[in-house]
Chains A and B, each alone.
Chain A
Amino acid sequence: MVEQVEKRFWERFLKWIKSLAGITVIATVVIALLATFDRGGYVLVNTIVTGGMTALVAMGLTLTLGVLNIPMFAHGEYFMVGSLAAYYVFTPISEYMQTHPDSILAVLGPVITVLAAMLVGALAGVVSEVLVFKQLRQRSRENWVMNSFLLTVGLSVVLINAHQLFFGADFKGITRYFSGMPISIMDVFISRDRALAFLLAVLVVGAFWFFMTYTRTGRAIRAVSQDETGALIVGIGLNGIMMLTMALSCALAAIAGASLLFMYPAYPAMGLEPLYMAWFVVILAGLGNVLGSVMGAFMVALLKVLTVEYIGSGWDFVVPSALIIAILIFRPSGIFGSEVRGVLDK
């Protein structure tokens, strides 16, 4: 019995290896290792940290696309909201820490910050769902994908400039969350912030996966993403699910923004970069494919890190987009394929 299961597992594994998804994942790992041997460990560290956070943003994007059918253009702005909230929560904490260096806040402060940013992000998501998307949904569902896309464009403009209007256009950043010596693994020094950012990403992705797979609410969300009418028939409250989805996906982006505050200070237009990275991922991995978007995030992050490393900074606009366009010519539905093709057809 066990042998049979093992054999079937191996067969499936070999089949997966031979598929496009398997080939790309293995190629990514190999390229990442080669680059690490060539240029040193920080390539790998950068890839992993950026990839983890891109995965959070991309998962949120996938979620809004799959469940609400909204091609979110304002997702980077929730990233911005998260980092802004984190800045305003963490600055007083770090000032307090300077006078009381031994307080418990040294450990709890960043946790409180990320949690607060998550709450603010979720709140922003709920507010935009209630004020914007729900209004349109009640009025007309005709040509929904395009109309909601334009709504998100307007939302993005409003959020960016409201930031500039109320908080100013300067860079609001912190130097670090955790003080102390960087961790050293095999001669590579990783600052505590980076290591913890990656751990946080793993934690959140895991929790999210668990939530989507094993809880009733998560299954309800997936049901809505597969078939809205069907979900209604079996008694799932659409309004609640949509609001929850929006809150979740915005909170994911806000967590990413908050935990990367030490790398990217908050400023009005900061959302564009995570946004297009997330869109790269979503299009590369296939729309609505949550697990695929996690793997795709690491690929895109690797692509970006390698471009900056070997070709020079600034080219990271050019090379990844060119490669992704090239991939899409041959494989329009993305590398991992997608369960919700319906979104594309609208």
Chain B
Amino acid sequence: MDPKNPVNKLLDLLCFTPAGLLALAVLLILPFVPPFNQEYLIRWLISAALIASLSIGFDFTAGLINIVNFGYCAIMGLGGYTSAILAERIGLSPWLGMLAGGVTAAILGLVIGMITLRLRGIFAACLAWFFGLALMGLATKAVWLTRGPLGMRVDRLFETQSNVPYYYLILAIMVAMFIACKWVTRTRMGMAFKAIGQNMEAARTSGINPVFYRVSNFVLSCALAGVLGGFYAHFYGILTPDMMHTSKTVEVLAVAYIGGRGSLWGGAAIAFPFILAMELIRSSLSNLPGLHLVIYGTLLIVVMIYYPGGFAAFFDTYVRKPKNKFVNYFLNGAYGGAK
């Protein structure tokens, strides 16, 4: 509990509270705990972790600079296709391919950002959406490159049949993304992001160039999506333009906002129970198709109306202020704040 304790310093550097660390540890041993050690449950866990990571990247723009990137999954798809095409045509290793996916996504993010972020809020969201639609259309029609709706086969990353290595990989990516985003928010740049998100005129008056900061935020978040797209391609082994559809972005958006905007960790924390519950409903009530998405949408509406801050705000107001010193340390770390 002593702030000078090296363990605490390390935790602070990694932006984790002891509670966050415990949650991570639970996630790490989860594939070996009986109900979860079946392959299909591990697949669910992986898709939950993927959504969790996407929601971190999404929240980085949506929560901080208050711009909804409505083409987020399309950008992820671009990363995935880049990685897959590079692996197929020139035999690039998937690991480098994922990075290449990140780079192309970042370049596209730069282009979109330069064009859209001169505009305001909802306009930028719409233009990002149009870009996403255009990308999806391109992926559907450029059959010579992507095989279109038939789907493009991609080599998987590991040669085992087991899904466990993928799970650890996506967890590692998720944690790395979280730490990277958190570090950025601690710098001067992060302060600028928050200022722009809260009140753009005030930020502009204090000498912050909104376009520069918004574009750099956008580029970073798109790059993360590209890397995740590479993972998606090499995990599922097949890419269809459907992964770039608006409804996929809506899925990520719902998780990010139910988790709590601007918190970064909220979406990641809520994604696991949420996605598992949704998959459970979908598979056990398969005679009622669409029910899980109705619940999804209703939950998003209810959270937006009654609790716009989402799970993170709920956690911060009701759980995070215990009287007990030890519990307080456990929940907030030695410095307070962070995950």
Contact = CB atoms under 8 A, between A and B. Distances in A.
Interface of A: 71, 132, 135-136, 139-140, 143, 145-147, 149-151, 153-165, 169, 268-269, 272, 276, 279-280, 283, 312, 314-318, 321-322, 324-325, 328-329, 332, 343-346
Nearest to B301: A154
15 contacts: A145-B122, A150-B257, A157-B296, A157-B297, A161-B297, A279-B129, A279-B130, A317-B133, A317-B134, A318-B141, A321-B137, A322-B134, A325-B127, A344-B120, A344-B122
A155 B298 CA distance: 7
A153 B289 contact: no
Interface stretch (B32-40, B204-212, B304-312, B327-335): B304-312
B140 A132 contact: no
Contact of A158 (B68, B136, B247, B301): B301
Interface string B136-147: 111011000000
B134 A321 contact: yes
Given A154-B254, A156-B297, A164-B290, A321 B130 contact: yes
A312 B119 CA distance: 32
Contact of A318 (B129, B137, B247, B291): B137
A69 to B, nearest CB: 10
Contacts of B66: 143, 146
B194 to A, nearest CB: 14
Interface string B270-306: 0000000000000000001111011011111100111
Contacts of B247: 157, 269
B236 interface: no
B126 interface: yes
A244 to B, nearest CB: 22
A297 B306 CA distance: 37
Residue picked from B141, B246, B297, most chain A C-beta under 10 Å: B297
Contact of B141 (A145, A315, A324, A343): A315
A345 B66 CA distance: 13
A317 B130 CA distance: 9
Interface residues of B, number: 44
Contact of B297 (A139, A145, A154, A276): A154
A145 B137 CA distance: 28
Residue picked from B115, B126, B289, B304, most chain A C-beta under 10 Å: B304
Given A132-B305, A314-B141, A321-B130, A161 B68 contact: no
B289 to A, nearest CB: 6
Contacts of B296: 157, 161
B87 interface: no
Interface of B: 66, 68, 115, 118-123, 125-127, 129-131, 133-134, 136-138, 140-141, 246-247, 250, 253-254, 257, 288-291, 293-294, 296-301, 304-306, 308
A139 B304 CA distance: 11
Residue picked from A154, A162, A317, most chain B C-beta under 10 Å: A154
A279 B126 contact: yes
Contacts of A149: 68, 122, 125
A161 B131 contact: no
Contact of B123 (A147, A159, A162, A332): A332
A314 B115 contact: no
Contacts of B119: 328, 332, 344
Given A156-B297, A279-B126, A322-B134, A272 B246 contact: yes
Contacts of B137: 314-318, 321
Given A140-B308, A154-B300, A317 B140 contact: yes
B145 to A, nearest CB: 14
Nearest to B198: A143
Nearest to A158: B297
Nearest to B299: A154
A312 B126 CA distance: 25
A165 B292 CA distance: 10
A164 B289 CA distance: 7
Nearest to B119: A332
Contacts of A163: 290
Nearest to B130: A321
Contacts of A329: 115
A283 B123 contact: yes
A259 B297 CA distance: 28
A316 B141 CA distance: 10
Q: Which 8 A-B pairs have the closest CB atoms?
A: A317-B137, A157-B297, A158-B297, A164-B290, A154-B300, A161-B290, A161-B293, A318-B137
Contacts of A268: 290
A328 B254 CA distance: 29
Given A146-B68, A318-B141, A324-B130, A151 B290 contact: no
Contacts of B129: 276, 279
Contact of B130 (A154, A312, A325, A332): A325
B134 A162 contact: no
B7 to A, nearest CB: 39
Contacts of A159: 297
B126 A158 contact: no
Nearest to A152: B301
A154 B308 CA distance: 13
